[in-house]
Structure 1
Amino acid sequence: MALRSLDNALPLVQERPKKQAKVSVAAKLNAVNDENVAPLPPVTIPDAVDYVASDDLEPLDDPDLKIQSLIEGLESKDWVKVCESLNDARRFALFHSDLLFPISDKVMLVQVKAMKNPRSALCKTAIMAASDMFKCYGDKLLDDTTADALDQMLLQLLLKASQDKKFVCEEAEKALKIMVDSIAPLPMLQKLRVYGTHANPRVRAKAAVSLSQCVSKMELEGMKEFGLVPLIQMAAKLLNDKLPEAREAARNMISLMYKSFTEGEEQKEEAWQNFCQTSLSAIDALAVVKIVS
C-alpha cells in the first residue's frame, strides 16, 4: 500500500494553554506545598486587636512629641492604626490629661466616627477610649468646646448598647454607667431626657436605665431644679413602656423620688398622693402610687 502524501495530511492544531485555576485564600491557608509544585506565596492576615484594660495601660514615652501626631494617627485609613491611636488617646487621658484636653473635642469626634464603623473591633476600642475620657475629665466635657461631641457620643453609646453584638453592647452599657458616674447628675439628666421618648424601644430602655442612675445621685433639691413634675411624668410614661428594662428603671426612679419627696414629711402618703394626683392623669397617678404603697 502506498504511503499517504504528507501534503494531504490533516493540519496540526496547536493546543491552547490551559488556564490555571484560581486558588482561594482559604485554600492557600490549608494547602500543603508539593515538592513538584512551586511553593505558594505567604498569605498576610491582619493582626488581632488587643483590648487593653485601663488598669493595664502605661504612660507614654515622650508624650510631648507623641501628641503632635495623635490626630494624624486617629484619622488614618488603616483601621488597625486607628485602634492603636485610640489606645494612645486613652494613655494621654489617664496619664497626660493636660496635653490631651486642648484637642479633646477632635478626639471625641473621631471616637464617635469609629463607633459608627461596622468593624466591631474598632467600635469597641472607641467605646473603651470614651470611658477613659469620662473618668478623667468628667464635668470638663460639659465645656462649650466639647458639649456637641459629648451629645453625639451619648447617642452613639445608647445605639450601641441597644444592638445585638453582645461584646459591643456590654462595653457601651459600661461606658454609659461611667458617664453617669463621672458627670454631674443634673446636666446629665437634661441630656438624657430626650431619649426617654426615643422611637426605638431598646434605645428608650437604655436611656431609662441611665436616667434612673442619674436620679439615684440626686437629692430633693436637685430634683426640684430639674423639675419634680416633668420628672414624675417621665417616670410614669416609662412605667407603661414596652420593654421590662424600661419599666424596671421607671419603678426605681419613682421609689427614689418618693424617698426624697417624703423625707421629713409627717403625712408621707397623703403628701405623695396629692403630688401625683396634681401632676399626672388619674390612671397614671394610681399606677405610680401603687409602686410605693
Structure 2
Amino acid sequence: MDISVLSINKLKSVLSDNSKPDESLLQAMSGDNRAGVRKLYEQWLLKRQKNEAEKSRIEKLYEQESKYRSKGFGLIAGVDEAGRGPLAGPVVAAAVILPENACLPGLNDSKKLPVSARERLFVAIKPIALSWAVGMASVEEICELNILQASLLAMCRSVDSLKVKPDFVLVDGPNGLNLPLPQYSLVKGDTLSASIASASILAKVTRDKIMLEYHDEFPEYGFDRHKGYPTVEHLRALTRYGPCRIHRRDFKPVKDFDQLLSNSLSVE
C-alpha cells in the first residue's frame, strides 16, 4: 500500500476512526521513511497491546462466575467489605449479582482504582446488576464482636438484603459466611472475580460517602481526607482532641489515646 500521499494528520484520523485498521496500512506505516509516521504506528501498536491486555484481564474476571455457572448455579453473588483497617466509622459490605459477561470497562479491585474510576463504576454497576445491596456493622458492633466478626456480619447482611436471592456466593477472603447458601471463599477475590470486584466498589464508595457525612459532624479529624484510616493527620487529631463517638475504642491506637485522655482528666 502506498501511503506517501497521506499526511500524518490524515493517518492519525484514519487510525482514530477505525478500531481495526487494515493490516496492509499498518505494515506500510511501520516501514514509512517519515519518522512521524513510524512513531504514530508505534503509538497505535502500544495502544492495541494495552487494549488487548485489558480485554484479557476483564475476561479472566469472569472465570470464577463461569466456573460455577457450569455447575448449575445461575445467580452468583459476589461479596466484599470495606473498612476493616480504619480507626473510626462502620465496616460496610456489598453483595452484587451480575448478569453473564456484564459490560463494565475498567472493572477492578476498588483499591486499585482512582476515586474518579470508582465513582464512575459505582454508578455503572447498579443498573447493570441483577441485584445489589449494602450491609453494615456499626462501631458498637465492631467493638463488641471484633473487626473480623463484624465484617462477616456486614457481608451476611448485604447478601440477606438482596432482592434477588442468589444460588451461590463468592466471598472475598479466607472466611466463609454464616449463610444457608453454597459458597466459596476466594482470597484476593476482588482481583479474581467480576462480581466481587463490583461489590468492593459499592462497599468502598458507600463507606467513603458515610465518612464524608461524619466529617460534617466532626471536621477536626479530617475524615473527608483519610476516611478514618490511621494517617499521621488522623493520629495528630486524636492526640489533640481524643476519640469521638465514631472511633473504635477497642482498637489499640484509639484505646491508648482514650487512656491518656482519661488519665489527664483524673489528674486535673
Give the TM-score, by structure 1 length.
0.23
Give the TM-score, by structure 2 length.
0.24
The structure richer in strand per residue is: 2
Higher relative contact order (CA 8 A, sep 6+): 2
The structure richer in helix per residue is: 1
Max radius of gyration: which structure? Answer: 1
